[in-house]
A and B are shown apart, each in its own frame.
Chain A
Amino acid sequence: MGRDTLTGSRIRERRLMLGLRQAELARQVDISASSLNLSEHNRRRIGGKLLVDLARVLAVEPSMLTEGAEVALLSTLREAAAALSRPVAELDRVDEFAGRFPGWAEVLAHAQKRISSLEQTVQTLSDRLTHDPHLAASLHEVLSTAAAIRSTASILAETGELEAEWRDRFHKNLNEDSQRLAESSRALVNFLDEGNTSADRRGVPQEEVERFFLEAGHHFAELETSDAAAQEVALQTLIEESGALVADAARTIAREALRQYCADARALPLAALSDVLSEHGSNPSAIARAFGVDLPTVLRRLGALPPEVLGQEAGLVVCDGSGSILFHKPVAGFALPRFGASCPLWPLYTALSRPQQPIHREVVQQGRSSVGFDCYAVSWPRLSADFDRDPLYHAVMLILPKREASDAAQSVGASCRICPMAACAARREPSLLKEGF
């Protein structure tokens, strides 16, 4: 029996685990108990809004009901195979492997997750060293002071007959430099210590904004109203009361992102959007037509919806005309560099080079997973053109995970530094992974 034909059994199993009576669950999703009974015995197909409602009441992802827990394991095993960058002969027997050797499959999946986590850490540290001017200046200060100390100490230790005047001067220099080294290294440790709450030591403001949105699950019930004035009040309260937003720059960035969220929520009200999604699915063009709004608004809005409303997980990336990432919402399996340069093969950048032309591509990320992603991207003029002014474009990309990539899926990376695609025309620099980092 196929995985998706056991949806009813999983619903029953989950309901019993929660100690919920069949009649009670049926009442909560607005169907009859007899109908639910048929479904639980896999005699009636479940999908669409009913599936989403059942998943919400049972507090699980819809995919857990349709595909079961083992899907995550299989996906991770395929990811491990893809990371090899060469064909694995038994890839089509991954189900059999996981079934016959569940213990070893778990070991392999755990190792793959750890590799992915370490790659992400490498990427993050690499981004910080390259793009954080505060960190670069601190390291320069430490190393320059260490160089002065080393040279001076070496002169004192190795010069046989040193005049008293020189000796005193070098002792004084050594004393000054050792104090400087102590201060600069302490400042560096404080800067790197993420637990420190001082505003100027928390790293780049985007990290705070990222934490703020992650803590909220990228969804703000307080802003889901058509009243713009009420939204603005709620927005200010959210920012004022957030423990994640410390630096003024972070608050400014978060305020701008939330105002965009408010405008999108007014254009596509949650309740009405939920109905359209149940009826038409998450096709961006259909939603844009149904509401008479532009595609960038639809993509941003879909990317910010909770999974229980959208019916699946979604990621989102917004960049400016230079390609710099302004905002991102991560999604499992699709690696997003935090602030550094990302892969130029992303449909996001195709959209940037073809202003206002909607782009839909199925992609697979090399070295990460065999899971595919439907990417919808479009750019829009944030500042319209005039006779004496060029337009200023931003681009947005919605990332929707698929169960498996098709053969037509376009290969992309995350960032050159952690990408295993050796023969890539878009490569900017060698991969750290290739060098056995």
Chain B
Amino acid sequence: MGRHVVLVEDEPNITEAIRFLLTRDGWKVDSHADGADAVDVIRAAKPDLVILDLMLPGKSGLEIIKELRDSDELPGLPVLMLTARGQLKDREMAERAGVTRFMTKPFSNTEVLTAVRDLHAQAGLNRAAAGGREGERTDLAERAGQG
């Protein structure tokens, strides 16, 4: 499983800090600062994980995640949302839109690293489980054909 992350964040110094952290942790990091074409950038990159700011120029993080979830191109893609808005209703709204994990600013580097590793590991497990079920279905179909 790859370790490729797309970071959509319009604050350049946050981008630089996260890029440094994740690169040292073995990730390939592509960053993008504009919300307007962020969906196209993510679709083209096909990353293993997305880190998304909520308040972006051009298009909000919520709109971006909704567009991503509405299409079937990147199923199960883990999305970590970063935001300065930490109210319960913001968290609920983000979860309803399809965000995998929600993190409020200011966050610690350890929190970001832990979240990224957890989400990546969980996505791997989910894929393995989905693959296993698919394999079981194939075996059953084959046995039924032989019978």
Contact = CB atoms under 8 A, between A and B. Distances in A.
B64 to A, nearest CB: 17
B109 A151 contact: yes
A152 B106 contact: no
A308 B45 CA distance: 73
A150 B108 contact: yes
Given A140-B84, A166-B20, A148 B108 contact: no
Given A140-B55, A144-B105, A166-B20, A151 B84 contact: no
Interface string A153-168: 0110011000000100
Given A140-B85, A154-B109, A177-B13, 19 more contacts: A143-B84, A143-B106, A144-B105, A146-B105, A147-B82, A148-B13, A148-B14, A148-B17, A150-B106, A151-B13, A151-B14, A151-B17, A151-B18, A151-B21, A152-B16, A152-B17, A155-B20, A169-B16, A170-B17
Contact of A152 (B13, B24, B82, B105): B13
Contacts of B85: 136, 140
A139 B21 CA distance: 26
Contacts of A173: 13, 16-17
Given A144-B14, A144-B84, A152-B13, A158 B20 contact: no
A235 to B, nearest CB: 41
7 contacts: A143-B106, A144-B11, A145-B11, A147-B107, A148-B14, A152-B16, A158-B109
Of A136, A144, A159, A176, the most chain B CB neighbours within 10 A belong to A144
A251 B112 CA distance: 48
A140 B18 CA distance: 19
Nearest to A151: B17
A146 B104 CA distance: 11
A155 B21 contact: yes
B89 interface: yes
Contacts of A150: 106-108
A146 B106 contact: yes
A265 B17 CA distance: 64
B17 to A, nearest CB: 4
Contacts of B84: 139-140, 143-144, 147
Interface residues of B, number: 20
Nearest to A166: B20
Interface string B83-112: 011000100000000000000011111001
Contacts of B13: 148, 151-152, 173, 176-177
A143 B105 contact: yes
Interface string A120-145: 00000000000000001001100111
Contacts of B17: 148, 151-152, 155, 170, 173
A429 interface: yes
A230 B108 CA distance: 65
A334 to B, nearest CB: 27
B67 to A, nearest CB: 22
Interface in B1-24: 11, 13-14, 16-18, 20-21, 24
Contacts of A144: 11, 14, 84, 105
Contacts of B108: 150-151, 154
B61 to A, nearest CB: 12
Contacts of A154: 108-109
Contact of B106 (A136, A139, A147, A159): A147
A166 B19 CA distance: 12
B125 to A, nearest CB: 28
